[in-house]
Chain A
């Protein structure tokens, strides 16, 4: 099943921050990680990842740095900032609270059926 657009939209910042908290990544790596960790649930038009990353960068939540590889190619690695980490903690709490509340209601409904 594919994720609902609005759900995905509202969670995209948290997902990106969460991935970058674990290690700095470049765009293509982010796409692969999201796909692998969500077992193929999160699939999107890959070109639209960059506007999302750049918005986070403009907000000061992440920073991007070009790095030269041994094969001569360059990649832009994104790192989470202290501001981004603080934001992620807040968003994680909000998501968990929301998830718990929704689960409680769904479980109650299921039990009453």
Chain B
């Protein structure tokens, strides 16, 4: 296979963003088609270069083919919808039903989140795993918060160890997720500004006191509602096929949910914090695509020949 054809297939592969289980089959099929086409063209008397040029012209642009492949595979089943929105629903129910006061429920939810995340991560990273992945970072944050409560000497000793480790873990997960699709990184990080917003509203000093627990109790229905809004967003995200609609949904829903947080905590969040949260939300939406571009620019063509296996077919020119 010529480098031009390998580049063509690699470009489709990287833009179609398929799950590992589908990718090999789809790419092998396209490659088999190209081989048949080249054989026919060279047998008709074209030189190899002419055959490659004609073949690529008749296959269609990589952008068009990748977009249609993405749309054919992107829509998740209703089972995936349920699985993906489950962590948001669980957190929503914790607050709406006021179960957050019982440590048993909190532990149960955290263990469930960690177990599901590990299971999904080690079983081919299906689409639904990324909303669980965001919540699996909560134990890391909790450890950081607990460090504030230990004696000061220990705190000073442990914080320089904790921060680099926590950041390394966070970046490792973000990079691995972005390699699959930057949109999943945004999906994973979407609750982050919202959770931070609620946390700052109930506990501006960063320490959890009796007073801040009272505030959680006061805000609990709204906290629950914001998680339910996230669950609905994820459900719609999984069912949508078009990529631009998915991006718009995350941007709109993320900003609207954040506005809900700010609206109900207006007395407790100053203007600077509000703009800080908006910046974090934009970061959640803009940093992953930039990171993906950076990662892609440093990557060599990974598609190689494998032994396994005018008008587009949907009517788009």
Stretch from B28-36, B148-156, B292-300 at the A interface = B28-36
Among B32, B58, B72, B308, the residue within 8 A (CB) of A51 is B72
Contacts of B69 in A (CB 8 A): 50-51, 54
Q: Does A93 contact B (CB under 8 A)?
A: no
Contacts of A49 in B (CB 8 A): 313
Q: How far is the CA of A17 from the CA of B180 in the complex (A)?
A: 33
Interface residues of A in 8-27 (CB under 8 A from B): 8-9, 12, 26-27
Known: A50-B69, A73-B32, A73-B35. A9 touches B314 (CB 8 A): yes
Query: Which bracket fits the contact residues of A?
Result: 20 to 34
Q: Does B124 contact A (CB under 8 A)?
A: no
Interface of B is mostly: helix
- Contact of A6 with B313 in the complex, beta carbons under 8 Å: no
Q: Does A37 contact B (CB under 8 A)?
A: no
Distance of A24 from chain B, by nearest CB (Å): 15
Closest to B308 in A: A74
Known: A27-B29, A74-B308. A45 touches B59 (CB 8 A): yes
Among A54, A66, A72, the residue within 8 A (CB) of B26 is A54
* 19 additional A-B residue pairs with CB within 8 Å, beyond A48-B314, A54-B69, A66-B309: A3-B311, A5-B311, A7-B315, A9-B314, A43-B310, A44-B311, A45-B310, A45-B311, A46-B58, A47-B33, A50-B29, A50-B69, A51-B65, A54-B26, A54-B72, A54-B73, A66-B25, A66-B308, A76-B28
Query: Which residues of B are at the interface with A, using a C-beta cutoff of 8 A?
Result: 12, 25-26, 28-30, 32-33, 35-37, 58-61, 64-65, 68-69, 71-73, 307-317
